[in-house]
Amino acid sequence: MASKRRNMFHKNKTQETTENATVDLRICAQQLETEQASQWRALFQLPLIIGQLKPCISRYVQSYQTAGRSIPVGTFCLGTWQVRRKKWKEDLIESLMVKTKMPPVSLPANLKDVQDMEYRTVSVKGTFDHSKEMYIGPRSCLTDGESKANEGRLFTSSGASGYHVVTPFVLENTSERILVNRGWVPFSQKNPKTRLKGQVEGTVELLGVVRHTEPRAPFLPLNKPDVGVWFSRDVEMMAQFADTMPIFIDAKSGSGVPGGPIAGQTRATLRNEHFSYILTWYSLSAATAFMWYSRYLK
């Protein structure tokens, strides 16, 4: 009896397994038929999908064509703008050169008048206060300034770096104190003890070019007034440190003294690279216009 029951159990188990396998095969077949049907439906619906996407594709192509037209026009406008900028810069440079070559005038007593006189030459008379000498640097020595005179030049290296020596100047007629950039010295001559001959004493008369505070360049180190070293010309802060009026002048070349700093360190020119910008923008305009013509019109 036990043997018979075991045989019946195995028979039922085998039959159940066969039925399950048959069901799985049917399910797989149905899934396969469903996937094939979906693929065929998608294939037949492809023209409809393309038709729905056509407006989007058309807008994309039109946008691309519009961008292609705008690039030549935009770069042409930028080139024209640089032409105007070049003319403006040339007029500004000419104005600076005219101001530096105008006849010298006396330094106005009114500070507000001095604010409108940048690059004008003024005449001052008084004495230097060497005890509060300051230095702006590093700077290169200018040898082609507004004057060809070489009076008072002890150092003649044009390619080396050094400092501009700024010294308080006591005006004779008012006892007011201003700042005078006496000129350039190399690093090795920063210490006044190395150029005692140029530390002029007594009353002197000199010509100088009025200068204002220069913008601080990005990443430029901060000024160090505690040690008398300035990386940029900050007239207000320098005047406060040296107890002077916020008036700053660059001594002209003829105002140098023997053994002293090289005077005439006014740079009365500005960078004028607008011609290269003009070539760049007009070249881009011409190149992109030719590409657009070849692609859509030719």
Which residues, other chains included, contact 76 with Cβ-Cβ below 8 Å and sequence gap of 6+?
281, 282, 285
Neighbours of 147 (CB within 10 A): 18
Q: For residue 10, is pLDDT > 80?
A: no
pLDDT tens for residues 243-296?
999 999 999 987 888 888 999 898 877 777 878 888 888 888 888 888 877 776
Please report, for the chain, the start and end positions of each structural domain, with discontinuous segments joined by +: 120-255
* pLDDT tens, residue by residue, 165-214: 999 999 998 889 999 999 999 999 999 998 988 899 889 999 999 999 98
The model's pLDDT over 57-80, given as tens digits with 9 standing for 90+, comes to 555 555 555 666 677 788 888 888
Q: Are strands 121-128 and 229-230 parallel, antiparallel or unpaired?
A: unpaired
Q: Percent of the chain having pLDDT more than 70?
A: 70
- What is the tens place of the pLDDT at every residue in 151-173? 444 444 444 789 999 999 999 98
Going from the C-alpha of 274 to that of each of 37, 84, 90, 94, 282, the distances in angstroms are 67, 9, 10, 16, 12
* Contact present, 142 and 267 (Cβ < 8 Å): yes
Tell me the C-alpha distance between 55 and 57, whole Å: 5
Say what the pLDDT of residue 127 is: 94
The encoded tokens of residue 51 equal: 């038709």
CB atoms within 10 A of CB 298: 7
Q: Which residues have CB under 8 Å from 63's CB, separation 6+?
A: none
Confidence of residue 240 (pLDDT cuts 50, 70, 90): very high
* Torsion 13-14-19-20 (CA) sign: positive
Q: How far apart are the first and last CA of the chain?
A: 98
Q: How far is residue 169's CA from residue 180's CA, in Å, rounded to a whole number?
A: 6
Q: Are 167 and 132 in contact (CB under 8 A)?
A: yes
Q: What is the pLDDT of residues 96-134, one digit of tens each?
A: 778 878 888 988 877 778 888 888 999 999 999 999 999
Q: What mean pLDDT is reported for the chain?
A: 77
